[in-house]
């Protein structure tokens, strides 16, 4: 995930935050007339989503925007830059969200979500000593996640995970101590 600010040359004191979330997806391929074979690599493509703090002319938040990378002859960077240019044309640069306030002035439209976790809910045959990983995201426009209010319980017990990331995208990991 990349975070950057974009400023319009006519409104240099009103930069807008852009968050670009890109991940490479590998589809596994099967062999014809056989059961699924997981060790054969299939199609590779990028999944890219862009979020912005920019507002439209009515003061409404914009996005999220998906970038179609699958099957394109352009590079990922060219496609992302092209999409940012399109998003910038939709932003009303006279509308301002104070950068030092973050997104406090905008409506926080969505609650934070568990973006992914390991082990997944309902997953079986997971080693008892595996590291539990949870990725929490708060999509723009958002005020971010107040990590100090988060309580993680595993098996009914409060645990202290290792926390990395920023207030819009946290990863929590916890490795149980077995046999202590």
**Pair (20, 77) in one structural domain:** yes
**Pair (79, 147) in one structural domain:** no
Residue 155 lies in a domain: yes
**Pair (37, 90) in one structural domain:** yes
Residue 43 lies in a domain: yes
Residue 156 lies in a domain: yes
DSSP state of 20: E
**Pair (83, 136) in one structural domain:** no
The residue assigned the tokens 């995208």 is 169
**Pair (17, 79) in one structural domain:** yes
pLDDT for position 27: 62
Residue 49 lies in a domain: yes
How do residues 59-114 score in pLDDT, each as one tens digit? 788 888 888 776 566 788 888 888 999 999 999 988 765 444 444 455 666 788 88
Phi-psi map region of 155: left, alpha, beta (phi>0 left; psi -120 to 50 alpha):
left
Mean pLDDT (whole number) for 6-23: 83
Domain count, the chain: 2
Mean pLDDT, the chain, whole residue set: 78
Which of 73, 101, 129 marks a domain boundary?
Answer: 101
How do residues 29-52 score in pLDDT, each as one tens digit? 555 555 555 555 566 677 888 888
**Pair (43, 7) in one structural domain:** yes
Residue 34 lies in a domain: yes
Q: Which residues pair with 136 in a beta bridge?
A: 114, 170
pLDDT for position 100: 41
**Pair (60, 141) in one structural domain:** no
Domain extent at residue 145: 113-174
SS (H, E, C) 34-96: CCCCCCCEEEEEEEEEEEECCECCCCCECCCEEECCCCCCCCHHHHHHHHHHHHHHHCCCCCC
Residue 106 lies in a domain: no
**Pair (89, 134) in one structural domain:** no
**Pair (33, 117) in one structural domain:** no
Which is nearest to 97 in space by CA: 17, 156, 4, 40? 17
pLDDT for position 103: 47
How do residues 109-148 score in pLDDT, each as one tens digit? 678 888 888 888 888 888 888 888 998 888 766 778 888 8
**Pair (67, 23) in one structural domain:** yes
**What is the three-class DSSP state of 155?**
coil
């Amino acid at each position: 995930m990349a975070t950057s600010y974009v400023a319009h040359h006519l409104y240099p004191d009103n930069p807008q935050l852009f968050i670009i979330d890109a991940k490479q997806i590998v589809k596994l391929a099967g062999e014809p007339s056989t059961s699924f074979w997981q060790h054969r690599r299939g199609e590779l493509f990028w999944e890219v989503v862009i979020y912005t703090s920019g507002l439209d002319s009515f003061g409404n938040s914009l996005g999220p925007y998906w970038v179609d990378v699958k099957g394109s002859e352009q590079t990922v960077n060219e496609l992302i830059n092209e999409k940012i240019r399109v998003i910038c044309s939709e932003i009303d640069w006279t509308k301002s969200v104070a950068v030092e306030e973050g997104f406090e002035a905008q409506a926080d439209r969505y609650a934070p979500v568990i973006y992914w976790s390991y082990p997944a809910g309902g997953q079986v045959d997971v080693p008892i000593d595996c590291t539990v990983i949870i990725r929490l995201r708060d999509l723009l426009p958002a005020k971010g996640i107040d990590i100090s209010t988060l309580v993680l319980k595993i098996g009914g017990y409060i645990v202290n995970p290792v926390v990395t990331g920023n207030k819009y995208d946290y990863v929590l990991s916890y490795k149980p101590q077995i046999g202590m």
